[in-house]
Amino acid sequence: MQILDRSIALGILLTSGYGMAASGDDEKILTVRAVSEPSPEIAQLIDKIAQPVIVRVASGVTFRELIVRQCGGVTESYIELIKDKPEFKKSGLDGPLEEGEIPLPACLYYFKPFDAARVTVRTGDTAYGLYRMKTGGGGTESELVEFFGEPIEDLSKLKPGKELPIAAVSLPVSLPIRPGSEALIEEFRRIDPQGLTVREARSVEGEIVMGMSTGEIAASDDCETPSAPMNAKAVYEAYRFSKELSEDEDINVDGGRANIAIVDNGFFGALSNTPADKAFDGSPFRRKYFKADSEYTLAQVIRLDKVLQPINYSYGLKPDLESGHGTHVTGIVLGGPDLEPYFDRMRSEPWASIAIINIGLGARSLIKGSHELLLAQLRDDNRYRVVNLSITHDGLLDRNVRNNYQNLFSLAENTLFVVAAGNDVGKDVVDKAIIPAALGGAGVPNVITVAAIDGKHKLTKFSNVGQNAVDMAAPGCEVRSWISNSKEIVAMSGTSQATPAVTNEAALQLSLAINAKAATLKNRAISSGDLLPESERGKTVYEVSANPVRSLFLFKDYLDVQDGDSVRSLLGEIVNMPPLTCLVAHGKARKKVEDMFSIKRAEGKSYFFGGMGIGRIQPPCLVVDEGQAGISFVATHEVLSTGEVVKMGTPLEKVWPVERVINFVARTPIDELR
């Protein structure tokens, strides 16, 4: 067994709590990863070596749920460690617990899927590499055969697209060591000298994707024109209209709050060490949009010797363009200054519940251990449904970081991760292994990697790109938000400003249909978008930018159509459309209405977005026979230029030539929203 045993200035404990804690000075941290299922002897030693984890418990949660979140599964050896706790004697494994705090024994994370979990082989994958990604282990031939359940001959000739069963998934954890436990670490090494059960997992370093206004790479012509501001009134009208329909469809009858996590360098939007009813006084942010524990810290925290607070004022920091980055991002997630006047008018308000995960303490560099912390914080997909990630790691320096994020996205399959592409002046995120941005794309249903566009709807010079991984774009030039608890508005540019715009869009959708899956939210964000100019084609997967207004009409088919000299925006139901012919990689293919997410037209060309039949939107294909087809559509409502939605006195039934259809977006299937 190989163990990382070192002293660092700031250690981070991975737990199933809701925040982070900083250790004392010179705290010793043990960073390890289970390679195979930990034995009872290993479990007992981990408990003796590592300090217990203080877990915040919500009312009604069970011990089984807490253990699965922290350790991946329940074992008899772990039950042995907690059997004498008063809470366990009272509630047992499956009885409801009372709200409060419980110290739990530390453990390694090792998850054995209950269902037949599978991994899809990609170009360049090997059985050895996939085994290492899922377990961290080296993998002998016999281990590979046992893990995947297939002959070594088949495993040595893997082809892209093949699905392999996986027996287990492990993740690295960082554990604070008990004082005087050095002898036990030597005992640990004696039990597993070859590293067959546990191996070293070096803590991963990373950075916040900072705004261009900080001067990181900024040039005078990076943003030729500011991005267009949000049409807040139209967003409000679309949300209000769809909220009424969601209630008619018995969706979110009691209202819904989108649980959002913002992973960044902290928050200045509220005062620290201030009573809850005063902390947000004078701030453009509202307390009701933020998660809060009994101390109103904006996110429940994990305690070691100290507490790492979400609010940067706790550390004597002052807001500026760098330290206020996370605050600026948070403002955009909430809709920014444009949507702020409508906050109090939103139905079922508050629509968002935000947790601040501060992994930068106002700085550009991530604090040590924050990567492992995120793996623990975010792998439970019932806690946060949308996660905004403005962070980056160099996957060329540390190949394990790719594997760790892939495992995280696989485990938290019902969480939508919205990721900044990065500001490295047009680099391809896959070629440069920019992680986690390089993990987006058509094959990953719960990750959206976001590039930035300017006011001319073109990709900015600073934005990274990626035909196979950067999914879409959003406004990222001189985006207005706040960097403190004052109402002063500051403009910043970057993909980290574009990303929260997509997070805002997805979270608004989720609040309309709180049971919507991550894949459904991704499908909707892309299918409702606007085509990028032809000059920008081939730089992103789906070649669209976000359209928050259109995305909110979940319950109606949507049609933008040229009608004489004007463009009309209609809501209703598509009746029929004959098959269309599309150019695809291998030639031509017929596309049917049943498989259609969207049709979009720009610069004299129409593009078909399919995949409805498999529940996963596909990249667009060029339609070559649109002149022969029309969309039969029954309109019941019209969206006016003011954003107001009005009901037609008489439904309008008409066949519109595809050549006149600027945007058709199919409604989201109702069974995906309930």
Per this entry, what is the length of the chain?
674
Cα distances from 507 to residues 79, 378, 415, 600, in angstroms, run 38, 17, 11, 24
Name residue 416's beta-bridge partners.
386
Is residue 248 part of the annotated active site? The answer reads no
Cα distances from 618 to residues 220, 595, 612, in angstroms, run 37, 10, 9
User: In the structure encoding, which two tokens stand for residue 288, read together?
Assistant: 């009701």
Q: What is the dihedral of CA 423, 434, 608, 667, to 10 degrees?
A: -90
Instruction: Tell me how far apart the alpha carbons of residues 536 and 488 are, in angstroms, rounded to a whole number.
Output: 34
At 534, give phi and psi (nearest 5°): -60, -30
Looking at residue 267, what DSSP letter applies?
B
Is residue 511 part of the annotated active site? The answer reads no
Instruction: Tell me how far apart the alpha carbons of residues 411 and 423 are, in angstroms, rounded to a whole number.
Output: 28
Q: Which of the residues 242, 246, 325, 390 is marked catalytic?
A: 325
Q: Which of the residues 36, 390, 484, 496 is marked catalytic?
A: 496
Instruction: Tell me how far apart the alpha carbons of residues 294 and 101 are, in angstroms, rounded to a whole number.
Output: 12
Amino acid at 564: G
Q: Does the CA dihedral 402-406-407-412 come out positive or negative? A: positive
At 584, give phi and psi (nearest 5°): -130, 175
Is residue 586 part of the annotated active site? The answer reads no
Burial class (CB in 10 A: 0-12, 13-18, 19+), 587: exposed
With a CB cutoff of 8 Å and minimum separation 6, the contacts of 581 are 588, 589, 590, 591, 623, 624, 625
As annotated, the active-site residues are: 264, 325, 496
